[in-house]
Structure 1
């Protein structure tokens, strides 16, 4: 009986010490202005840092020691290289991630494959222009709950769109101010569970009517948001093929009044939201869409 009791105590010892270890790690993270949130049991479940440029490899090692961590938010030029990302590889409870200003590569994203509880992740201003395209998302195909991904202000390309389409549980995709084009949107035809998508090409010709034709091949879509471009009825008409569409957002997009009226008539049960582009934004679009191609 005593042997069994001793074995039970030893088995529970690491779990019992976890809150104390988390508190100690949180104390050491204070010098980098890292805020740590704890649950009622004293386990660290959230890390937030708005001055993440202060983080060193030792700080990443401390964050990586928080095995119960569920949410990780690192803003402001985060020095998250491939090497530092490896220090975060063993975070099995991590569900939500937001990272700004990182420099990891597509290859480095293999270190995220251990985030088995991951549900949502967003990259802001990924700064590795040579080795990041978003193709590294392919490393995350085995994550059973990964449903939402966003990437903005980054060198995310059509290769990234293809990798995103390969995520078997993807329901929400947000890509703005990136390098992906209509060809990348066409890759989404294989995204069987996709419910919402946002494309914002920053007033360029990267996303056009052709993307709407491609999205029409995603019957599970419920919300489509295409902003900062020019669209016509030639593309908009394809959205009538989406049986589950509930909301369409066309903010800062150049659409003629006639085409907009035709769209609303064709989609009477769909909420169509639109904030018209400014005169300056219309000029940008005209400069890019109307100039003769060389």
Structure 2
């Protein structure tokens, strides 16, 4: 896409967890389409400063905001910083999330609460406190990022799945409640993407081999952060304003035909 294509120029976008992994991909994509970026991170300032320097060198205005979204006071403080720095907010991408990998049998109450707070509760509170900054803004979007734990079993990810399922349902209800303020809400569900979580779950590397989408037009390919970022950006376009309350899976079709052993080339297809 040409750099002249900047449909988000003049819009302010907040990406939570926006300095690493899928969040960094979303940050870069929205910046390339002309948005001003507010990047939230939890505690690793180095990658946040690096992406800020990278994008500013390309002419994008970027602000950094440290906030642990498991803390309700931190969410209010984050919104206060956005208002002070930018005065308004057009796009909020709730990408931040965290989990504790454990079986449901052995999980503790503290682990359950931590995972709920950093995923579902933070989504509710971000939307609640963003309304004054986003209401009646042209092209306002509230977009959440879930994952594939809600659609298939991943060992020791039950806590994550429950929290992300809550996020998906919250997005549906928010799409209804935020509509009165002109805010369109949707959810994006990436396939398995190789991010820093692989350092904690090295067994995911085995799963990657089965996460390839078997495509008649593109062979075998794994989901990337950029794939998800493209869909988030698309949902921010004026042309996508009639898409609301949806959870859009971005996995190259893996959820539908992943694991099918027979593979045909386009020439073999009938």
For normalisation by structure 1, the TM-score amounts to: 0.30
Q: Per chain length, whose mean CA-contact separation is higher, i.e. which structure has more relative contact order (CA < 8 Å, sep 6+)?
A: 2
For normalisation by structure 2, the TM-score amounts to: 0.33
**Which protein is richer in helix relative to its size?**
2
Give the structure with higher Rg (CA). 1
